[in-house]
Amino acid sequence: MASATFSIWRGTAEQGKFFNYTTEISEGMVVLDAVHKIQAEQANDLAVRWNCKAGKCGSCSAEINGMPRLMCMTRLNQLPLERPVTIEPMKSFPLIKDLVTDVSWNFRVKKQIKQFKPRPPDVPDGSWRMQQEDVDRVQEFRKCIECFLCQDVCHVLREHHKHEEFIGPRFFVYVAALEMHPLDMENRVEELAKAKGIGYCNITKCCTKVCPESITITDNAIIPLKERVVDEFYDPIKRLFRRLRR
Amino acid sequence: MAQAAASTKRGLGTTERRDLWWVEPLAVGLGLLGFITYATWAAFQGNHYSFGPYISPFYSPEVFGDSQHSWFGPVPAWWPAFLPFSPALLILWAPGGFRLTCYYYRGSYYKALWADPPACAVGEPRGGYRGERSFPLIIQNVHRYFLYLAVLFLFFLAYDVWKALWFTDAAGAVHFGIGVGTIVLAVNVILLGSYALGCHSMRHLIGGRHDELKNAIFGRNCYNCVTVLNRNHMRWAWFSLFWVAFSDVYVRLCSMGVWTDWRII
Ligand code: SF4
Ligand code: SF4
Ligand code: FES
Ligand code: FES
């Protein structure tokens, strides 16, 4: 049977290093299978978070050969196995142990986003009428599994640690889903420009590249939101018209 | 069980990535610098920009100049002698500014020319970061105004194609015709049109700003067309960049007598 070597980051926020583990591999294995095998046979105390093994729970995010990916969706036959495969925890969040990071910052950020506020029902039975095409536009954003790989790769968080001033691509997707919703009446544009820091995004599209749900984060969520911010704050002619209308 | 280096180090180019992550930013950087170098050189030449009914897109519209395409005749007398003159210098800021502030190009030159980041999940040279939130990059938000100008330029360039269909013979008579140059200029308008009309600001303007597409100014079909172009905005950006430079090369070399313009009709 073939074997492969995995270089896995072990340690805590204070200290840690890579450890190499060689294990047998078989056809169809994914990185998470290999990690589980290593955990069962060689490193019982290896910390790794996972749940569904089907790319749907968003728990098993890590960095494989330097790229943020889901361990359960990365097949070994997609990786060069001549050299050890590196597996590291995400870098934008505090490390708890080994491959497990504390992603609770994301949940705090989400709570601060203004919630869905639908217009009054369209018909007396309390329901609404929407066009399919309008719903289709926001449907893409609802595929998000909250794996936070996009947050991990975004250099504004990863390199520049702007966690206090920037909500990150995951939450621009979330805001886009609400803000572009045909029924929603809330206005989140001002907070996007100010507290949520959309101006920090320099549209380098790394978030789009790593999203396991293939959400076109930058082009379909962030840039349209940036354009709405321009409407509100940076377009002098629009501002003039708004003032005249008032 | 062997041990290796720690994973917390940072700095330019720090990464565990194994693929050739530097190839894309390098190619983009070379492509952009190559274009800028050629366009600057060509703009300062001030000659060989027209040939027969053709005019190079770098020089159109020719506000002042010596060719038959000039709107208001030759260089005005009031033009300061110390300033270099070329018809291209009067107008190139508009398409140049359009590309400079384009969302696609911004993302790609921040990576390729400013290493912010050099590539995804690769370490950066600088710690400080302001993004497009404050001066100077906040100015990028003017993009939509450059889009308005770019659309205007599309009309000028389309008119140049129309003019490129009418050839004057030795006796001074004007005939309909199509030369290779006509096709070069026509392809240029098509590529530039696909690039400019697929702009993100256009997509916003034409309908994206509404939550309900029934409110889009020209209807939802128009929005959908822009979306289709927008999906390949990067490709249109590169094809049109290459072709606009090639169109200048074509007219220039024909005018210099290096290339012969074949007449198809
Ligand atoms: S496009 Fe913006 S949000 Fe996405 S990774 Fe780049 S900087 Fe971050
Ligand atoms: S947008 Fe994509 S990458 Fe980001 S959290 Fe959602 S699924 Fe993960
Ligand atoms: S274990 Fe659920 S996404 Fe990988
Ligand atoms: S976004 Fe590229 S031209 Fe406007």
Q: Locate the DSSP E strands across A32-133.
A: 61-64, 67-70, 85-88, 95-97, 100-101
Q: Are residues A114 and A94 in the same domain?
A: no
- Atom 3, ligand 2: which residue's CA is nearest? A211
Taken in order B145, B151, B152, B157, the sign of the CA dihedral is positive
Does the residue A127 lie in any domain?
A: yes
For residue A166, the domain's CATH number is 1.10.1060.10
All residues at 6 or more sequence positions from B203 whose CB lies less than 8 Å from its CB, including other chains:
A224, B223, B226, B227, B230
- Chain B residues with CB under 8 Å of A131 CB are 212-214
Reading the block at residue B60, the tokens are 């159109």
**Ligand 2 and A100: CB distance under 6 A:** no
Residue B157: Cβ-neighbour burial (10 angstroms; 0-12, 13-18, 19+): buried
pLDDT digits (tens, 9 = 90+) for A11-38: 999 999 999 999 999 999 999 999 999 9
Does the residue A42 lie in any domain?
A: yes
Cross-chain residue pair B120–A206, CB shorter than 8 Å: yes
Which residue of B lies nearest to A208 if distances are taken between CA atoms? B120
Name the H helices within A79-168: 104-111, 132-139, 149-153, 155-158
Q: What percent of chain B has pLDDT over 90?
A: 88
Cross-chain residue pair A205–B107, CB shorter than 8 Å: yes
State yes or no: pLDDT of A1 exceeds 80.
Answer: no
Cross-chain residue pair A131–B212, CB shorter than 8 Å: yes
Q: Which amino acid is at B31?
A: G
State yes or no: pLDDT of B12 exceeds 90.
Answer: no
Whether the CB-CB separation of B69 and B55 falls below 8 Å is answered with: yes
- Atom 8, ligand 2: which residue's CA is nearest? A147
Q: Are residues A187 and A142 in the same domain?
A: yes
Residues 166-225 of B with CB under 8 A from A: 200-201, 203-204, 208-209, 211-214, 220
Q: Are residues A92 and A108 in the same domain?
A: no
pLDDT of residue B195: 98
pLDDT of residue B219: 86
Q: Are residues A208 and A231 in the same domain?
A: yes
- Chain B residues with CB under 8 Å of A135 CB are none
Average pLDDT (B77-106) is 94
State yes or no: pLDDT of A105 exceeds 60.
Answer: yes
pLDDT of residue B265: 87
Does the residue A246 lie in any domain?
A: no
- Atom 5, ligand 1: which residue's CA is nearest? A154
Q: Is residue B2 less than 8 Å (CB to CB) from chain A?
A: yes
Name the H helices within A42-168: 104-111, 132-139, 149-153, 155-158
Does the residue A65 lie in any domain?
A: yes
Does the residue A245 lie in any domain?
A: no
pLDDT of residue B7: 44
Reported ipTM exceeds the 0.85 cut: yes
pLDDT of residue A245: 85
Does the residue A243 lie in any domain?
A: no
Q: Are residues A43 and A144 in the same domain?
A: no
State yes or no: pLDDT of A233 exceeds 60.
Answer: yes
Ranking A174-183, A236-245, B103-112 by mean pLDDT, the lowest is: A236-245
Q: Are residues A184 and A63 in the same domain?
A: no
Cross-chain residue pair A162–B16, CB shorter than 8 Å: no
Average pLDDT (B80-84) is 87
Cross-chain residue pair A199–B201, CB shorter than 8 Å: no
Please give the number of the atom of ligand 4 that sits closest to the Cα of B202.
4
Does the residue A84 lie in any domain?
A: yes
pLDDT of residue B142: 97
Question: Mutate which of A160, A192, A235, A242 to test chain B, going by most B C-beta atoms within 10 A?
Answer: A160
Q: Are residues A6 and A68 in the same domain?
A: yes
Strand, helix or coil at A40? helix
All residues at 6 or more sequence positions from A217 whose CB lies less than 8 Å from its CB, including other chains:
A150, A169, A172, A173, A205, A207, A208, A211
Whether the CB-CB separation of A221 and A227 falls below 8 Å is answered with: no
- Which residue has better confidence, A182 or A242? A182
Q: Is residue B235 less than 8 Å (CB to CB) from chain A?
A: no
All residues at 6 or more sequence positions from B93 whose CB lies less than 8 Å from its CB, including other chains:
none
Average pLDDT, chain B: 94
Average pLDDT (B61-84) is 91
All residues at 6 or more sequence positions from A195 whose CB lies less than 8 Å from its CB, including other chains:
A112, A165
Counting the structural domains of chain A, the total is 2
pTM: 0.95
Whether the CB-CB separation of A26 and A37 falls below 8 Å is answered with: no
**Ligand 4 and B200: CB distance under 6 A:** yes
A189 DSSP 8-state letter: H
List the one residue out of A169, A16, A217, A182 whose CA is nearest residue A97: A16
**B3 C-beta neighbours (distance < 10 Å), count:** 11
Whether the CB-CB separation of A146 and A106 falls below 8 Å is answered with: yes
pLDDT of residue B120: 98
Whether the CB-CB separation of A46 and A56 falls below 8 Å is answered with: no
State yes or no: pLDDT of B10 exceeds 80.
Answer: no
Q: Are residues A57 and A127 in the same domain?
A: no
Distance CA B86, CA B92 (A): 10
- Asked which of A80, A101, A122 is the last residue of a domain, the reply is A101
- Asked which of A56, A74, A101 is the last residue of a domain, the reply is A101
Average pLDDT (A97-103) is 98
Distance CA A74, CA A86 (A): 13
Ligand 3 centroid to A71 CA: how many Å? 7
Q: Is residue B97 less than 8 Å (CB to CB) from chain A?
A: no
State yes or no: pLDDT of A87 exceeds 70.
Answer: yes
Cross-chain residue pair B134–A199, CB shorter than 8 Å: yes
- Atom 8, ligand 1: which residue's CA is nearest? A154
Min Cα separation A108/chain B (Å): 23
Reading the block at residue A91, the tokens are 């870098």
pLDDT digits (tens, 9 = 90+) for B216-255: 989 899 999 999 999 999 999 999 999 999 999 999 999 9
pLDDT digits (tens, 9 = 90+) for A120-140: 999 999 999 999 999 999 999
Distance CA A71, CA A180 (A): 32
Does the residue A244 lie in any domain?
A: no
pLDDT of residue B4: 36
Q: Are residues A147 and A229 in the same domain?
A: yes
Q: Are residues A125 and A212 in the same domain?
A: yes
| Separation in Å, CA B13 to CA A65, A156, A226, B24 | 15, 16, 29, 14
Q: Are residues A16 and A117 in the same domain?
A: no
pLDDT digits (tens, 9 = 90+) for B114-149: 999 999 999 999 989 999 999 999 999 999 999 999
- Asked which of A76, A101, A126 is the last residue of a domain, the reply is A101
Write out the residue range of the structural domain in which residue A86 sits: 2-101
For residue A56, the domain's CATH number is 3.10.20.30
Q: What is the dihedral of CA A230, A233, A234, A238, to 10 degrees?
A: 90
Residues 158-177 of B with CB under 8 A from A: none
Which secondary-structure segment (H or E) carries A116? none
Q: Are residues A125 and A189 in the same domain?
A: yes
